[in-house]
Structure formats: structure tokens, C-alpha cells
């Protein structure tokens, strides 16, 4: 296999007879394909730059799909120095690319104006399960007047990442400072922001009778927050969709039977419903409404990446819409971190409104409390607590490496030996397991080797 080394701080193009001035080089755009079939992989390549170094293999697995099936493809990297000089580097499919390169300022081919606008796509993925294209830059380039309307098919998305499979476009976006999420099946039309198309697509400010408060999808302690995704699918006070990995935006607990737990308000009445993977979610549900005004939505006890989920334990102790309890290992059912001082984090519902509180070990939890603030974790950044990569009893701690890839509160990259710094189990199909803090709550997820890890 040919290895290509290009150090852009002193970059020489001997084949073209060109030399570049020394300086800081940044990635402007990345494309992968052949002939007239190309896909924009700028976002994916940026996510793989670690410490101003890009070390990848130019292939379908690393770059997120095959835009030209059966053809020999090429990776093209467009770079720019501080003085505005631009160059293009090309690498054949299956070549190893090693570059000293900065991710740049995420101008993404002219979408800087969108960064300042009301609508901005922060991440977008088109495909099925772990076969998907990153189409973030493509969608941002189509925004006009803070609106985006686009039919979803292989042509508009730049290729087919999953042949013979029904694909879905999942979009994470920001509108007027709010982080939102939506999904559109292949053959449908993406309209951002969502609203009444007959009124020119203006964003609807009408209060809905159905409000999603919190939604978690997963198994055991491995679950994903899908609140924004479900909220984006509410129409006319109703929500109906199948519950599976595709509609929920991924698989947070591979090889486990998952459930979707949804807390919501319907005409001001609080309710909670749990739906198994493979079943259908229909809201508002006929049952799920509960008496009383106090309910624990999520409670975690621990330190760093070691914790217990104590949601059910606390709900069982509520009496007369009140809960008072001294927090220690006995009351919490054990010690998840024997060498650390622990903390209890609680998100709870009282009189139809969400609140949060934190209580140190040995202090007293008292709910409801007039001192608790509304449950707004949006100011708390994504933080990687622990990441391990391997198979069986051979694992590599990659916490620092994965944490360094977080960019703008998001994380997306191709799981491979190159991106994670080595092969801890040669000859085995490995997994990346991650425990992270998102909006103040611990989550766990995993991704297979050659798959894509995307958080949130």
C-alpha cells in the first residue's frame, strides 16, 4: 500500500513544480468520489484531524460511503494558508494520508454567513444505520434567507451510502439560538424551520397541546437523549412513529433490546409512556397519566464516569408529593466510586414543570425545593468522561484522544485504528465504548470499528 506524507507547514508539490510558502495551512473543503459522482466529506475529515494532524486511510469506511460504486475513487483536499494561497491535494482510494493540517475556521465553502444567521445546520447524516454520508456542509450551502427546502434522495444527497436499504436524513440544527433535531425519510422533503408551508414556511409559534419534556432511548445505562428529535416530529398536537434505531437516530446499546421512555404534557397534564423497540409510539397515549405532582425523571449518583441510575429508587420513596432523604451509599443502594466523593443529580417534574438539583454525598435531598432552578442544561458542554477501544480483555484508554475531537459541542468521527491511535486487539473486530456528560446527564454509547460515532 502506498503511503503519502505531506507536511503542509513546508509544502512542496514536486509533480506540479509548485512550492508553497511556509505558514499555517487549513482545510477548506474535502471531496471524495470519481467522475461526476462526488460527496462532500469536509465535516468528516475535519472531525478526524487530531492535534493538527490528519492520519487516515482514504476509503469508503473512513469517509462514510461509496459515492461511485465500482469506480476507483479519489480524495481531494483543498487547503489554504494564512495569506490566502490555496492548493489541492489528491489521494487515490486506499492510500494512507498523513498531513500536518489545521481543521480551519469551519467556513465550509462560504457558509460563514449561515453561522451568523438564524438557521444553521450543525450536523446532518444521510443513510441507514452505520452506512451514512455526512451532509452537513451540503445542507448549509443550500440555506437561503434562513430557510431550507430540499427533496431527499440519493441525487440531492450526493450519492447512495446504503444500497438496497431505505435511508433517512437526520438533521441537528440551530434556529434562533434553539438546538433542534428532525428526520426525513428518503423520498420526503426537508423543510427548515418546520412550519406551515402554505404561509411561506414561516416558523410556527403556535403553542401545541402536546409538549415533549424528556425522551430517552436505550437499554440499562446506555441510552440517548432523543427529546429534540421527537419534538420536531409533533404535528397538530400528535406524534406517531415506529420505534427503532433508524427513527431514533442510532443504536445506543448494540445487541440489547431497547425501550423509548417519553415524558410529555398533553393539555397541561403530565404523562409518561414506555415503548419497546419494534413497536409504535402514539401520543397522546390512552394511559400514562399519573396522579400527584412530583415525579423523578432522571436521577444519577456517582462521580466522574462511575455512577448508578437511581431514578426508580427515588420515585418509590415519594410520599404526598414530597421526598426527603439523606444521600449516602446506603440510601442510594451502593457505592459506585469507592475512592471519590459522590454527588446526586436529579431532574424532576413538579406541577408540570421540569427542575433540577444536585446534592453532595452526606447532604439531604428535599423535593420540591424553592431553590431549584428550571432544568436547563444547555449551557453545559459535551464532555467525554471515559472512552475505551478494543475487544475481549484487550482495551486501550482513548479518553483524551476522543475528548480532543469534540468540536462546537458535537462529536463525529470514523472509528478506526488510525483515528484512535493504535490496534489493541489485532485481528479482532473492535468496539469503541464512550461514557459522556451531555446537558448535565451521563450517557453511554458505543460504535463498531469502521462505524461512525456521533454525539449527541
Q: What is the pLDDT of residues 26-42, one digit of tens each?
A: 888 888 887 766 777 78
Give the containing element (helix H, strand E) for 356: strand 353-360
Alpha helices (H) in 179-220, listed in sequence order: none
Residue 178, pLDDT above cutoff 60: yes
Q: What percent of the chain has pLDDT over 90?
A: 8
Is the sign of the CA dihedral 399, 107, 81, 157 positive or negative?
positive
Q: Is 9 exposed, middle or buried (0-12, 13-18, 19+ CB in 10 A)?
A: middle
- 55-75 pLDDT per residue, tens: 888 887 787 777 777 788 899
Residue 312, pLDDT above cutoff 90: no
Contact at 8 Å (CB) between 445 and 382?
no
- 219-242 pLDDT per residue, tens: 876 777 788 788 878 877 888 888
- Which range, of 95-99, 105-109, 247-251, 360-364, averages the lowest pLDDT? 105-109
pLDDT value for 328: 93
Q: Which residues contact 342 (CB under 8 A, 6 or more apart)?
A: 301, 302, 303, 329, 332, 335, 336, 360, 361
Q: Where are the domains of the chain?
A: 3-100, 112-199, 210-283, 294-374, 383-455
In the structure grid, which three cell numbers stand for residue 8, read together? 503542509
pLDDT value for 260: 92
Contact at 8 Å (CB) between 121 and 143?
yes
Contact at 8 Å (CB) between 171 and 139?
yes
Contact at 8 Å (CB) between 444 and 431?
no
Q: Which residues contact 339 (CB under 8 A, 6 or more apart)?
A: none
Q: Which residue has the higher pLDDT, 32 or 11?
A: 32
Tell me, yes or no, if the pTM score tops 0.85: no
Dist. CA 199–CA 204, nearest whole Å: 10
Phi/psi at 390 (nearest 5 deg)? Answer: 165, -155
Q: Is 189 helix (H, G, I), strand (E, B) or coil?
A: strand
Dist. CA 65–CA 165, nearest whole Å: 13
Q: Which of 14-18, 48-52, 294-298, 341-345 has the highest mean pLDDT?
A: 341-345
Q: Using 50, 70 and 90 to split pLDDT, how confident is the model at 6?
A: very low
Query: Mean pLDDT throughout 421-439?
Result: 86
Residue 180, pLDDT above cutoff 70: yes
Q: Using 50, 70 and 90 to split pLDDT, how confident is the model at 327?
A: very high
- 198, 195, 207: which is closest to 147 by C-alpha? 195
Alpha helices (H) in 298-340, listed in sequence order: 311-315, 329-332
Span between the terminal Cα atoms of the chain, in Å: 35
Query: Mean pLDDT throughout 279-297?
Result: 81
- The residue whose grid cell reads 460504486 is 69
Residue 111, pLDDT above cutoff 70: no
Q: Which residues contact 359 (CB under 8 A, 6 or more apart)?
A: 327, 343, 344, 346, 365
Amino acid at each position: 500500500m502506498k503511503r503519502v506524507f505531506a507536511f503542509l507547514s513546508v509544502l512542496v508539490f514536486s509533480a506540479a513544480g509548485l512550492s508553497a510558502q511556509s505558514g499555517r495551512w487549513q482545510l477548506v473543503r474535502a471531496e471524495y468520489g470519481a467522475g461526476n459522482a462526488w460527496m462532500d466529506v469536509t465535516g468528516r475529515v475535519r472531525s478526524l484531524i487530531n492535534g493538527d494532524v490528519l492520519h487516515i486511510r482514504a476509503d469508503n469506511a473512513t469517509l462514510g460511503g461509496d459515492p461511485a460504486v465500482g469506480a476507483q475513487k479519489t480524495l481531494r483536499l483543498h487547503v489554504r494558508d494564512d495569506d490566502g494561497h490555496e492548493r489541492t491535494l489528491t489521494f487515490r482510494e486506499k492510500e494512507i494520508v498523513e498531513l500536518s493540517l489545521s481543521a480551519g475556521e469551519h467556513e465550509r465553502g462560504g457558509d460563514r454567513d449561515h453561522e451568523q444567521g438564524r438557521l444553521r445546520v450543525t450536523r446532518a447524516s444521510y443513510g441507514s444505520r452505520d452506512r451514512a454520508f455526512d451532509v452537513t456542509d451540503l445542507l448549509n450551502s443550500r440555506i437561503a434567507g434562513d430557510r431550507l427546502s430540499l427533496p431527499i434522495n440519493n441525487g440531492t444527497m450526493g450519492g447512495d451510502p446504503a444500497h438496497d436499504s431505505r435511508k433517512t436524513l437526520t438533521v441537528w440544527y440551530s434556529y434562533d439560538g434553539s438546538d433542534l433535531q428532525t428526520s426525513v425519510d428518503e423520498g420526503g422533503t426537508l423543510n427548515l424551520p418546520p412550519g406551515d408551508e402554505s404561509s411561506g414556511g414561516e416558523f410556527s409559534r403556535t403553542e401545541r397541546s402536546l409538549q415533549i419534556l424528556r425522551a430517552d432511548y436505550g437499554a440499562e445505562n446506555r441510552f440517548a437523549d432523543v427529546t429534540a428529535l421527537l419534538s420536531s416530529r409533533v404535528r397538530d398536537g400528535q406524534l406517531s412513529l415506529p420505534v427503532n434505531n433508524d427513527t431514533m437516530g442510532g443504536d445506543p446499546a448494540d445487541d440489547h433490546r431497547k425501550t423509548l421512555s417519553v415524558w410529555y404534557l398533553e393539555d397541561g397534564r403530565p404523562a409518561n409512556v414506555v415503548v419497546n423497540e419494534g413497536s409504535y409510539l402514539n401520543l397522546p397515549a390512552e394511559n400514562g397519566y399519573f396522579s400527584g405532582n412530583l415525579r423523578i425523571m432522571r436521577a444519577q449518583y456517582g462521580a466522574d464516569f462511575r455512577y448508578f441510575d437511581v431514578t426508580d429508587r427515588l420515585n418509590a420513596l415519594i410520599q404526598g408529593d414530597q421526598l426527603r432523604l439523606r444521600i449516602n451509599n446506603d440510601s442510594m443502594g451502593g457505592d459506585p466510586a469507592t475512592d471519590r466523593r459522590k454527588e446526586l443529580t436529579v431532574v424532576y417534574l413538579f406541577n408540570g414543570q421540569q427542575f433540577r438539583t444536585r446534592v453532595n454525598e452526606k447532604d439531604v435531598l428535599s423535593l420540591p425545593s424553592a431553590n431549584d432552578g428550571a432544568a436547563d442544561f444547555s449551557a453545559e458542554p459535551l464532555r467525554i468522561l471515559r472512552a475505551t477501544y478494543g475487544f475481549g480483555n484487550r482495551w486501550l484508554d482513548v479518553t483524551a484522544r476522543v475528548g480532543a475531537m469534540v468540536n462546537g459541542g458535537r462529536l463525529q468521527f470514523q472509528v478506526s485504528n488510525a483515528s484512535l491511535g493504535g490496534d489493541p486487539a489485532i485481528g479482532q473486530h473492535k468496539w469503541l465504548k464512550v461514557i459522556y456528560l451531555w446537558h448535565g446527564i451521563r450517557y453511554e454509547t458505543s460504535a463498531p470499528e469502521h462505524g461512525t460515532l456521533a454525539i449527541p
